[in-house]
Amino acid sequence: MFPRLSYLEWMGGRADAVPYDLGTTGLSDDDVDRTTVVPPRLADLESSPAGASLEHLLATEYGVQPEQVLVTAGATHANFLAYASALGGDDSTVLVEDPAYPPLVETPRGLGAEIARFDRGDGGALDATRIDEAVTDETALVTISNRHNPSGALSETDAIRRVADAAASHDAPLLVDEVYAPYVIDERDGPFGGPSAASLENTVVTGSLAKFFGLGGLRIGWIVGPREFVDQARRIAYHLPDVAGPSRALAGRALYSVDALIEDRRERVETNHRLLSEFVASRSDLEGTVHDGSTFAFLEPVEATVEEVFGAAWEEGVLVVPGEFYGVPQRLRVSAGRAPTDVEVSLGRFAQVLTDVRR
């Protein structure tokens, strides 16, 4: 029934197998103690008080009612439930951005939907007219990511509002995967300092503690949306495993003291964005844009093929992600998610790879 998620299969274990990781987009910690259950950054934080459920804590962040929040086992689980909630039969169509994170395409396909695509445009820019031209009465859901994965382009709320309006013209809700939305240097007024579409009509958003907070091991994600949509997702969720109690408890610590965690994350975004931007600007053998505040970019080698660059990089212990997984085989996604000192060393090694491969 479900198609293979080749990217996730390919990526599994690779980041731990190389000394120079430019494939990980999450702001991961490099000194994680795998022998302890409690992430070190949460060890000294106060537990959330009785009655302050994750739903309440997230509702406060998003400015919604707790009934509009469903906690899930990560963002992948959240997106699965969102698709299952929106689809009404085998003749339903899901309209998805192109390029897109592979599960945003393959999960609704596995649930029986037809998949239609719209182009994100130059550099990942979001253009509502493209959605307006592509949406039809058969469209059950429109899907975008913000920041866009793989380009790193960030869309402000007004741009997303126009997309939501285009989807609503055919009675289709908009799903916005916001796992990378907090990746900003100058804070917005949305949850965790990023922009959010949660306040828009006809819009559902998903997020998690994995990317910005680097707490992927907790497997905590969420859906925020209109109550009727979230209630449907909650009914479907009973068919699947529930979120683990220890993960809920640790996530409660993170969300109850979220301000104590954000400053470090914001500094990581700013430093790693600068490192990646300066690196790309210094290379005549790479083309592409490092969007403001982004720690990842979708880049095109111009003096060697992607196959040559990736092969040489892997031999030297450098992980980058081939664009073929996103349907753009002439590009690579390069990510600066690790600690800045490690990113700097990894970019230096990748620079040598690029120099050597063009000789």
Residue 84, domain member (yes or no) = yes
164: phi then psi, degrees, rounded to nearest 5: -60, -40
Residue 343 to residue 345: CA distance in whole angstroms: 5
* DSSP code for 17: H
Give the integer Cα–Cα distance in Å for 22 and 53: 36
pLDDT of residue 115: 97
Identify the three-state secondary structure at position 189: coil
Q: Is residue 320 part of a domain?
A: yes
Single residue among 258, 289, 320 that ends a domain in this structure = 258
Are residues 58 and 11 part of one domain?
Answer: no
User: Of 232, 236, 239, 176, whose CA–CA distance to 202 is shortest?
Assistant: 176
Give the list of residues 6+ apart from residue 2 with CB closer than 8 angstroms, or none.
106, 107, 110
Contacts of 180 (CB under 8 A, 6+ apart): 25, 145, 146, 147, 149, 152, 211, 212
> Do 296 and 205 belong together in one domain?
no
Same domain as 45, residue 20: no
Residues 235 and 184 occupy one common structural domain: yes
Q: What is the DSSP letter of 13?
A: T
| Same domain as 208, residue 293 | no
Please give the angle made by the CA atoms of 23, 289 and 20, to the nearest 5 degrees. 20
Tell me: do 62 and 108 sit in the same domain.
Answer: yes
State whether 142 and 115 are in the same domain.
yes
Does a cis peptide bond (omega within 30 degrees of 0) precede residue 191? no
Tokens of 210: 């994995």
In a domain, 60, yes or no: yes
Residues 195 and 230 in one domain: yes
Shared domain check, 274 and 254: no
Q: What CA dihedral angle connects 136, 161, 255 and 335, to 10 degrees? A: 80
Number of domains observed in the structure of the chain: 2
What is the pTM for the complete model shown? Answer: 0.96
Instruction: Answer whether residue 1 is part of any domain.
Output: no
- Neighbour order of strands in the sheet with 286-287: 286-287, 296-301, 332-335, 321-322
For the chain (359 residues), the mean pLDDT of every run of 10, in chain order, is: 92 94 89 75 90 95 98 97 88 94 97 96 93 95 98 96 96 97 96 96 97 96 98 97 95 95 96 98 96 98 96 97 97 97 98 91
Closest among 2, 188, 197, 227 to 107, alpha carbons compared: 2
**Domain assignment of residue 327, yes or no:** yes
**Considering 205, 224, 258, which residue would you say is the last residue of a domain?**
258
Q: For residue 186, tell me if it sits in a domain.
A: yes
User: Last residue of some domain: 226, 258, 290?
Assistant: 258
Task: Give, as one character, the DSSP assignment of residue 39.
Answer: -
Q: Do 117 and 97 meet the contact criterion of CB atoms below 8 Å apart?
A: yes
Say if 234 falls within a structural domain.
yes
20 shares its domain with 54? no
Q: Tell me if 179 is assigned to some domain.
A: yes
184 vs 152, 178, 261, 294, CA distance in Å?
11, 12, 15, 7
SS (H, E, C) 249-275: HHHHHHHHCHHHHHHHHHHHHHHHHHH
Torsion of CA 182, 184, 190, 192, to 10 degrees: 50
CATH code at position 337: 3.90.1150.10
Domain that holds residue 206: 40-258
| pLDDT of the residue at 213 | 97
What pLDDT, on a 0 to 100 scale, did the predictor assign at position 267? Answer: 97
| Contact status, residue 208 vs residue 200, Cβ threshold 8 Å | no
Q: What is the pLDDT of residue 68?
A: 98
Eight-class DSSP state of 31: S
Buried b (16+ CB within 10 A) or exposed e, 283-309: bebbebbbbebbbbbbbebeebebeeb
Residues 190 and 60 in one domain: yes
CATH number of the domain that residue 207 is part of: 3.40.640.10
d(CA 177, CA 73): 15
Same domain, 216 and 267: no
Burial (0-12, 13-18, 19+ Cβ within 10 Å), 177: buried
